[in-house]
Chains A and B, each alone.
Chain A
Amino acid sequence: MSRRWSALLLLLLFAPALFAAPLRIGSKQFTESVILGEMARLVARQAGVDAQHQRELGGTSILWRALQHGDIDAYPEYTGTLSHELLKNVAPDADIASLRAALKPLGIGITDSLGFDDTYAIGMREDVAAQLGIGNLSALAAHPALRLGFSNEFMDRSDGWPGLRQRYGLPQKQVRGLDHALSYRALVSKAVDAIDLYSTDAEIPYYHLRVLADDKHYFPHYQAVFLYRLPLEQSAPAFVDVLKKLAGRIPVDAMRSMNAQVKLHGESETDVAAGFLGVPSDQGGSSFAARLLQRTLEHLRLVLISLSAAVLLAVPLGVLSARSKRLGQVVMAGSGVLQTIPSLAMFVFMIPVFGIGTWPAIAALFLYSLLPIVRNTCAGLSGIAPDLRESAAALGLPRGVRLRRVELPMAMRSILAGVKTAAVINVGTATLGALIGAGGYGQPIVTGIRLDDTGLILEGAIPAAVMALAVQGVFEGVERWLTPRGMRIEARQ
């Protein structure tokens, strides 16, 4: 029995080598950011600097923390986000020079404006806006019944909806949070009447939208810049140099058309960025099978490492919980609380400790796996008839031997059911790991949502579902293998 266990654990613990790190450029989970990230990578490559691009790392807070933590070396950001959200002691309309001064103590450098402003704006369907006679934001105040759909970020930040409502005295009550990638669909299908958008969004002309004029000059400037770690000025001056040279090169219409090429014409960010820069694209046209294999390996790695670490901790915790009622309650409460933390929040909590990439995702999945395993181990052990437990004691076997030879084998079925539950949950939750750079099946899902590309979403969702089924199947086999035969036959009377 113990040999089987160790064989299983060895198999689960099989972990590929850690990645070696060239310069790392991050980007947020929207197309423009990804294009800018690709642009930085391409100009770096032209200058002979080895750089990689970690795409679509979720929202601002993830990238900002990753940059401060040194997990990424540079990422595209906007001045308004810096002055309103990330830096506490600067004026809301601070210029780049004062931002540079404020960032310096944090060890962060900032380039000059890349040449365009990607500010928030409010958009409506042209036909609806015309019918209601709404041309600017002030006019919204006269239509309290309008339904507004805002990205979650816009809903929450002080320079978003709360400030906008105050400045224009807006009375609307029906305000919903929407994923930015989905909000155009909601607007076009008339599920909402107005959404927040970015002034460089490709969809504005495509969907015939009217951008409402900001007549009270509420929205600040959101000039695109690159942030980078200041130590790079010494360690990688060539890289900082090419970032700085991007300043002023990208006008707003160029950016909008690049966005459109990617979002509406399905071109790759790499090709579009390379085309704009006039350099050859290096997109490795990896086949579908190769991509699938790579993502499968990444995904399996997330699930297997987190799961086996959880088994190593949760089974002993379950044993302790079964032994001491008081301790059991503490352990159950603790792992129960962990379970209630929303997945994305859990991933973000892990960044200060583990940075971005595979390890914070593994840590988060590990924590999620604890509860089902602890609970089932404890339940399996507590479910053993007192008569049998006492028989083992009466034989004169020491406690440890009783646990190993009698109690754990009898609880095996329940323990394995807990591990199986944890594994299946992990396969699903691991898809969110893509938002913090962990790769896996979540990558095409994240990209697919961003590009509104159902095929791409399915490229991640279907393998994830298949893997969940496979995990289920594998565990049923393991269960059969590890559950003693005597436990599977019904007692004869």
Chain B
Amino acid sequence: MSANQEASPAAFELDKVSKRYGNLMALDQVSLAFAAGSSTALIGSSGSGKSTLLRVLLGLEWPDQGTVKADGLVLVREHVLELRRRVGYVIQDGGLFPHLTALGNLALLPHHLGWSRERIRERAEALVALTHLPQSALDRYPAELSGGQRQRVALMRGLMLDPDALLLDEPLGALDPIVRHELQDELKQIFERLGKTVIVVTHDIAEAAWFADRIVLMRQGRVIQDGSLDDLRQRPADPFVTRFVQAQRTLGDAA
């Protein structure tokens, strides 16, 4: 995987991308590349532009300036549907459709693409094993699932077509600490097993370090530092980096 990393084009590449919402610069001249098969965590406070960055990669938002490339090709509107089908996207609450069962949610896109019922069921069952979702949960509605189960289903929905990449926007943000801890473990295992390009957005630096070796810290639409946890700790590019790293409380602080 790392051997041909240099040869193949980056899975995603941003070149001087800017995006403005009114007075707010959500992205300000951001240039980043994400190698195929790599895991990256985007961190920053809310409003730092990290979620916008994910949305720009999927063509859910279009940059005011700069270009976005996926697999070396400049992203254009005509190809955005194909791109989205090659990328799994998971958001904080899962974004499951309440009128469909878990299986119905999983089946939505494959059904549109003409998969047979059996093939959909088969793929869903394979993913049930991967995500440790109880089999019976497939026939329940989102409102009948726990928060952790909903998040598992959302991940499964993102993986149905076996995409090349997974983009996760605060995937564990709405979960209680125990479930969150359990899912952090499982997600990490899943990422390692699948070897896909993973970009995960979080505001928790410990979670970021747990998921990825590479951490990109953003503030006010700009990349402040791009490196390992060690880099952020030992070689901060900016006093803000130190403040951000230290702002995360540990049990030691409380005592």
Contact = CB atoms under 8 A, between A and B. Distances in A.
A487 B144 CA distance: 11
B109 A395 contact: yes
A209 B95 CA distance: 78
Interface residues of A, number: 26
B115 interface: no
B63 interface: no
What band does the interface of chain B fall in when counting residues whose beta carbon is under 8 Å from A?
Answer: 20 to 34
A395 B106 CA distance: 10
A485 B95 contact: no
A484 B143 CA distance: 12
Interface in B88-120: 89, 91-93, 95-101, 108-109, 112
B95 A388 contact: yes
A493 interface: yes
B108 A489 contact: no
B33 interface: no
Contact of A490 (B55, B82, B83, B143): B143
B49 interface: no
Contacts of A391: 89, 91, 95-97
Contacts of B109: 395-397
B58 interface: yes
A487 B99 contact: yes
B146 A486 contact: no
A393 B144 contact: no
B76 interface: no
B221 interface: no
B244 interface: no
Contacts of B81: 396-398
Contact of B58 (A394, A397, A405): A394
Contacts of B60: 390, 393-394
B89 A394 contact: yes
A181 interface: no
B145 interface: yes
A290 interface: no
B147 interface: yes
Contact of A388 (B55, B97, B108, B145): B97
A486 B98 contact: yes
Interface in A450-493: 484-487, 489-493
B99 A409 contact: yes
A396 B84 contact: yes
A410 B108 CA distance: 14
A410 B99 contact: yes
Nearest to A401: B112
Q: Which of A391, A406, A410, A490 has the most CB of B within 10 A?
A: A391
A146 B213 CA distance: 97
Contact of A395 (B84, B92, B142, B146): B84
Nearest to B100: A486
Contact of B141 (A387, A395, A396, A485): A485
B109 to A, nearest CB: 5
B157 interface: yes
A392 interface: yes
B16 to A, nearest CB: 24
B85 interface: yes
Nearest to A407: B97
Interface in B201-223: none
A489 B141 contact: yes
A387 to B, nearest CB: 5
A484 B144 CA distance: 14
Contacts of A390: 55, 60, 91, 95
Interface string B143-178: 111110000000001000000000000000000000
A388 B95 CA distance: 5
Interface in A309-355: none
B97 A489 contact: no
B143 A392 contact: no
A397 B147 contact: no
B92 to A, nearest CB: 8
Contacts of A493: 147
A401 B84 CA distance: 15
A396 B92 CA distance: 19
Contacts of B55: 390
Q: Which of B58, B81, B98, B141 has the most CB of A within 10 A?
A: B98
6 contacts: A392-B97, A393-B60, A394-B84, A484-B99, A486-B99, A487-B99
Given A391-B95, A405-B112, 7 more contacts: A387-B91, A390-B55, A393-B60, A394-B58, A395-B84, A486-B101, A487-B98
Interface of A: 387-388, 390-398, 401, 405-406, 409-410, 412, 484-487, 489-493
User: Which are the 4 A-B pairs with shortest beta-carbon distances?
Assistant: A391-B95, A396-B84, A486-B141, A484-B99
